[in-house]
């Protein structure tokens, strides 16, 4: 199939994988930072005020952030039901564990504020534990996906590595979010967290980038084919540059008048975007690496068209009011009051 | 030993039963909150704002439980019922997709503004956010009930190579049972929220709260219930007639009718025995079932024996239906008695307050009983006449499903305990402290016991 000979019906799966990719990317960035904030929660007695501020910084957003996961799964369900069945069969237990994690952190967020004071610390622990459980299982699933759902020990090791890598990445973006949204002592702490998590993330990204083409011959060929190699190698180069620049900048933060406090977060978003493009480039148009492509997995054109009409109208609207919400809550989280 | 099918059914029933409890409250509570906020904007009476601020916290907690249990639901289709998406995914997918696109993001984003934005947006934008949240919860109910109704009464599609393809989306969305089920569920939500609000308010008054706000919300709850309960009885009757037309086997099970008969009696009580295909211990009113269902005392009702075994299990439907109707009658009695006292004396006597507290979760009982009737009543089909439940289930080993089921069940038990316990803590705390310390709600007025304000509020 070449672009010239493709009919509109052939393009539909491409459009939907695009929307799904967008949803996954937005999810990784948005829920990434709020899961990261949960993972970083300091648990000492004297940290209680900082915990309050950290959780207040994600308060207005976490719910909408998680909705992007529902949208991504929804599109997989709507547009590629065959792929969904296969993925869910392979990842049944990790999915269940991730859901438990999501449930725990979601309710802990509300319970911690409303339960009796003596239970608050317990719910904070639940919040941290739930965030970690969710992140680890998402990373594990990503590893399994890249390894084509194999169950051998190499695949398991790789998936564990990926679980740690995603945990580092979410901590990275979560810490950078805190640098942007907090002040004074907590901000200084967040700067240190960002640096450490950034280095751990770099290691994770390097490991995955090296192992992925080695175990997937198709991926190797795709990346290292002349002349494309000249162009696509920009992705890892820029990613690496992003890490280095961020690290250098963080060394000098916080600056006077809080200059550049937002830069680390947006640099991290850039790194997420690049890593995601790298993964997408490795596998497109396969939806299950090496087994199923998007055309074989797609559902009926009349269903895709029906939902596309809605998506074209509604997705920009969602983006618009999401932007409005971030505009309303712009600024430092210490001013936030859950009314 | 339970097999994968039974375990998956239990898991889905457990997930959806747990999930539906929370939206049933929030769909209507969203509108009640909007009403409180609107009344405050119009009258400038701070009592409305106090009522709003207490209930918005309850709303946030309930909504969070609904969201997290709902995410679990959205994964269940893929994890446990792959046959469902493979066969009717072309129909179910877009309807679920529209729910996410038009409702979920709307609710989640504007709830953030509603909860945290009081100091950051003008009052009008705040009221607008409350309105949008209420619209969002209702839209969500619209899409999911459309899909659920389609599974009961599928229309607007054709089967090609064993896969359903939509031929008319209007017929899919507005399938024959949808208008009835949607209305019935919205009013059920109204009743659930009304008794929930009245019950928790009565609890505060019983614990010695002398403030105006709980009295105002108690009255609001009871009036809503008194108006909605009889309407619900009428809508429920219409829904039953619609079911008789499309799923007569469900009605036969609800009424415990084994042999097709004219002038069927209404069974107030009985114990159906499926093996013997008869009822024991019947207490019946002659001809009433025929009269209600066919509007003719000698009308014919087709019995279960005429469905050749293609009918749902009888006992849970028979008893579930009686539990739901019994709850409904109790609601009418309590709501009207309560309104009578309010009108004559302006307040409820202590025993009546206790009765209202006892009814706090009555909506949950009725709603669950009703859903069990309609969902078990669809068996053995997942989509009536199109896909059987057994054909849709995952090929996974029973052990995996048993593991996840055990996980979910233990979490649900803990969460349910924590939810009810926290509601009690919140209500008791509200007895002691004012919702905000200034007489009129001002920008800087903080609220008690919440993130960012925990310390100020403790005083």
Q: Average pLDDT in the B86-91 region? A: 86
Residue A223, pLDDT above cutoff 80:
no
Instruction: Using alpha carbons, select from B40, B106, B389, B273 the residue that is nearest to residue A71.
Output: B106
Cα distance between residue B287 and residue B438, in whole Å: 63
Element (H, E) at B160: strand B157-160
Structure tokens at A122: 């317990």
Contact A63 B169 (CB under 8 A): no
Does residue B72 belong to the interface with chain A, where contact is any CB pair within 8 Å? yes
Contact A85 B82 (CB under 8 A): yes
Structure tokens at A168: 């580092």
- Classify the C-alpha dihedral B18-B20-B22-B24 as positive or negative: negative
Residue A230, pLDDT above cutoff 50:
yes
Question: For residue A13, which residues of chain B lie inside 8 Å, CB to CB?
Answer: none
Question: For residue A95, which residues of chain B lie inside 8 Å, CB to CB?
Answer: 75, 79
Q: Over the stretch B247-278, which tens digit does the pLDDT of each residue have? A: 888 888 888 888 888 888 888 888 888 878 88
Does residue B409 belong to the interface with chain A, where contact is any CB pair within 8 Å? no
Residue A279, pLDDT above cutoff 80:
yes
pLDDT at B434: 66
Nearest-CA distance A52 → chain B (Å) = 6
pLDDT at B450: 37
Cα distance between residue B413 and residue B408, in whole Å: 9
Q: Over the stretch A119-151, which tens digit does the pLDDT of each residue have? A: 888 889 999 999 999 999 999 999 888 888 888
Nearest-CA distance B376 → chain A (Å) = 25
Q: Average pLDDT in the B119-128 region? A: 86
Q: What does the mean pLDDT of chain B come to?
A: 86
Q: Are B263 and B290 in contact (CB under 8 A)?
A: yes
Question: For residue A104, which residues of chain B lie inside 8 Å, CB to CB?
Answer: 411
pLDDT at B117: 79
Confidence grade of residue B326 (pLDDT, cut at 50, 70, 90): very high
Contact A338 B74 (CB under 8 A): no
Q: Over the stretch B92-122, which tens digit does the pLDDT of each residue have? A: 888 988 888 888 888 888 988 888 877 788 8
Nearest-CA distance B383 → chain A (Å) = 17
Most confident of A102-111, A297-306, B142-151: B142-151
Q: Give me the residue spans of the domains in chain B.
A: 4-245+312-457
Confidence grade of residue A300 (pLDDT, cut at 50, 70, 90): confident
Nearest-CA distance A183 → chain B (Å) = 14
Higher pLDDT, B1 or A292: A292
Task: Judge if pTM exceeds 0.90.
Answer: no
* Candidates A52, A56, A89; nearest CB to B394: A89
Q: Average pLDDT in the B294-321 region? A: 84
pLDDT at B71: 82
Bridge partners of B271, per DSSP, are B280
Contact B408 A100 (CB under 8 A): yes
pLDDT at B16: 92
| Closest A-chain CA to B96 | A74
Cα distance between residue B174 and residue A295, in whole Å: 31
* Candidates A82, A114, A302; nearest CB to B426: A114
Does residue B20 belong to the interface with chain A, where contact is any CB pair within 8 Å? no
């Amino acid at each position: 199939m070449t672009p010239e000979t493709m009919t509109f019906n052939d393009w539909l799966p491409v459009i939907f994988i695009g929307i799904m990719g967008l949803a996954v990317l937005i999810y990784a960035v948005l829920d990434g930072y709020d899961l990261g904030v949960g993972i970083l929660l300091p648990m000492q007695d004297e940290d209680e005020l900082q915990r309050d501020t950290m959780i207040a910084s994600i308060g207005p957003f976490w719910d909408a952030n998680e909705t992007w996961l529902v949208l991504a799964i929804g599109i997989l369900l709507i547009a590629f039901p065959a792929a969904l069945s296969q993925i869910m069969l392979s990842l049944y237990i990790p999915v269940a564990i991730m859901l438990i994690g999501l449930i725990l952190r979601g309710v802990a967020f509300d319970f911690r504020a409303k339960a009796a004071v003596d239970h608050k610390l317990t719910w904070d622990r639940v919040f941290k534990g739930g965030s970690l459980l969710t992140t680890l299982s998402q990373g594990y699933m990503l590893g399994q996906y890249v390894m084509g759902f194999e169950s051998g020990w190499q695949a398991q090791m790789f998936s564990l590595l990926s679980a740690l890598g995603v945990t580092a990445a979410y901590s990275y973006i979560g810490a950078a979010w805190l640098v942007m949204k907090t002040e004074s002592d907590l901000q200084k702490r967040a700067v240190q967290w960002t640096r450490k998590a950034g280095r751990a993330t770099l290691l994770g990204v390097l490991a995955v980038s090296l192992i992925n083409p080695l175990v997937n011959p198709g991926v190797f060929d795709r990346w290292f084919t002349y002349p494309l190699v000249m162009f696509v190698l920009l992705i890892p180069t820029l990613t690496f540059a992003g890490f280095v620049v961020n690290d250098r900048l963080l060394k000098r933060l916080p600056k006077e008048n809080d200059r550049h406090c937002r830069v680390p977060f947006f640099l991290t978003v850039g790194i997420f975007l690049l890593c995601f493009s790298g993964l997408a480039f490795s596998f497109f148009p396969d939806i299950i690496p090496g087994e199923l492509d998007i055309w074989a997995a797609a559902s009926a054109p009349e269903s895709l068209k029906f939902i596309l009409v809605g998506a074209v109208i509604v997705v920009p609207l969602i983006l618009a009011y999401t932007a409005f919400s971030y505009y309303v809550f712009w600024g430092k989280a210490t001013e936030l009051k859950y009314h | 030993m339970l097999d994968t099918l039974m375990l998956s059914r239990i898991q889905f029933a457990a997930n959806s039963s747990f999930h539906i409890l929370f939206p049933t409250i929030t769909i209507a509570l969203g509108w009640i909150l909007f009403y409180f906020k609107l009344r405050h904007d119009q009258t400038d009476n701070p009592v409305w704002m106090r009522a709003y601020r207490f209930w918005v916290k309850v709303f946030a907690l309930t909504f969070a439980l609904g969201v997290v249990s709902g995410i679990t639901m959205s994964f269940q289709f893929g994890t446990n019922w792959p046959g469902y998406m493979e066969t009717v995914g072309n129909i179910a997918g877009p309807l679920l997709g529209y729910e996410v696109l038009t409702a979920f993001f709307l609710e989640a984003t504007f709830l953030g503004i509603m909860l945290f934005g009081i100091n950051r947006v003008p009052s009008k934008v705040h009221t607008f956010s409350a309105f949008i949240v209420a619209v969002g919860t209702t839209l969500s109910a619209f899409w999911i009930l459309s899909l659920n109704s389609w599974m009961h009464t599928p229309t607007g599609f054709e089967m090609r190579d064993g896969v359903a393809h939509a031929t008319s989306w209007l017929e899919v969305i507005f399938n024959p049972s949808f208008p009835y089920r949607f209305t019935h569920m919205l009013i059920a939500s109204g009743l659930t929220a009304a008794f929930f609000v009245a019950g928790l308010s009565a609890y505060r008054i019983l614990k010695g709260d002398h403030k105006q706000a709980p009295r105002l919300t108690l009255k609001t709850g009871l009036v809503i219930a008194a108006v909605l309960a009889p309407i619900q009885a009428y809508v429920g009757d219409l829904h039953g007639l619609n079911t008789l037309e499309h799923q007569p086997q469900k009605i036969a099970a609800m009424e415990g009718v084994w042999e097709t008969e004219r002038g069927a009696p209404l069974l107030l009580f009985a114990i159906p025995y499926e093996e013997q295909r008869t009822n024991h211990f019947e207490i019946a009113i002659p001809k009433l079932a025929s009269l209600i269902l066919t509007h003719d005392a000698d009308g014919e009702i087709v019995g279960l024996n005429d469905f050749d075994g293609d009918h749902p299990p009888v006992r849970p439907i028979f008893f579930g239906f009686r539990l739901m109707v019994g709850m409904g009658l109790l609601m009418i009695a309590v709501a009207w008695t309560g309104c009578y006292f309010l009108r004559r004396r302006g307040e409820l006597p202590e025993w009546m307050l206790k009765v209202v507290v006892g009814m706090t979760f009555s909506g949950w009982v009725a709603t669950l009983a009703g859903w069990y009737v309609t969902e078990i009543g669809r068996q053995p089909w997942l989509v009536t006449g199109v896909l059987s439940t057994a054909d849709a289930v995952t090929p996974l080993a029973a052990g995996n499903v048993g593991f996840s089921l055990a996980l979910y069940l233990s979490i649900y038990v803990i969460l349910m305990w924590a939810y009810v316990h926290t509601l009690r803590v919140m209500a008791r705390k509200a007895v002691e402290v004012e919702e905000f310390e200034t007489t009129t709600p001002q920008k800087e007025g903080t609220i008690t016991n919440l993130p960012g304000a925990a310390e100020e509020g403790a005083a």
